[in-house]
Structure 1
Amino acid sequence: MTTANGITEPVGSWLSSLIAELLGTNEQEIPFDRPLGELGMDSLTAAQLSADLEERFGALISLERFLGEETLAELVHQLERDAAATSAAQEAGA
């Protein structure tokens, strides 16, 4: 299922839930269109988020992106693109 933001529900929901947990807030307070750096994310939180994304998706994302202008929507779209590219590469190699 895709939301109005064009975000695939499972990835967007999982990620907004994770960010809310890391920031000590509820998921409804994590907007998809606001820079993550404006939500109160610090370097420790960004490092934990980076580690969680690497573990779940194999994605290596620099901490600076979480502390700057990157929005949750942009992050979800990147993860979806990376997953699609990995899947296509695996299918081509099969």
Structure 2
Amino acid sequence: MSSGTQDVRAWLTGRVAAYLRRTPEEIDTALPLSEYGLDSLTALALSADIEDEFGLVLPPETTWDHPTIDQLGVAITALIEEKA
């Protein structure tokens, strides 16, 4: 896993933890976010956060197409690299 992906994953873990009112250490990045009770409204808010943080425009289904933080981190890193 690249350092860019690790940085994105760490940021995502922090955001998800904040939405779930947990510490980042309590978040398993390989577990589907739906298992934490992440709903569609929170997924949209997370997508907006990603767009704001990384300057990306994401389709609304991005968080569902990449259901874990690990998968989402890889996808976002690839989009960042394409944009660069």
TM-score between both structures, scaled by the size of structure 1: 0.74
Return 5+ residue gaps in structure 1 as ranges: 1-5, 88-94
Q: RCO higher in 1 or 2 (8 Å CA, sep ≥ 6)? A: 2
Match of 1:50 in 2: 47
Return 5+ residue gaps in structure 2 as ranges: none
Asked if 1:20 corresponds to 2:10, the answer is no
- What does 1:69-88 correspond to in 2, within 5 Å? 70-87=67-84
Match of 1:35 in 2: 32
Runs (4+) off by over 6 Å: none
Of structures 1 and 2, the larger Rg is shown by: 1
CA distance in 1, matches of 2:30, 2:79: 20
Question: Which secondary structure does the structure 1 equivalent of 2:18 belong to?
Answer: helix
Question: CA-atom RMSD, angstroms?
Answer: 1.9
C-alpha distance after superposition, 1:30-79 (max 9, x if no partner): 111111111110122112101101111213142x4535761110000001
Contact 1:41 1:67 in 2 (8 A): no
Q: Note the C-alpha offset of 1:7.
A: 5.3
Tell me the percent identity: 32
Aligned residue pairs total: 81
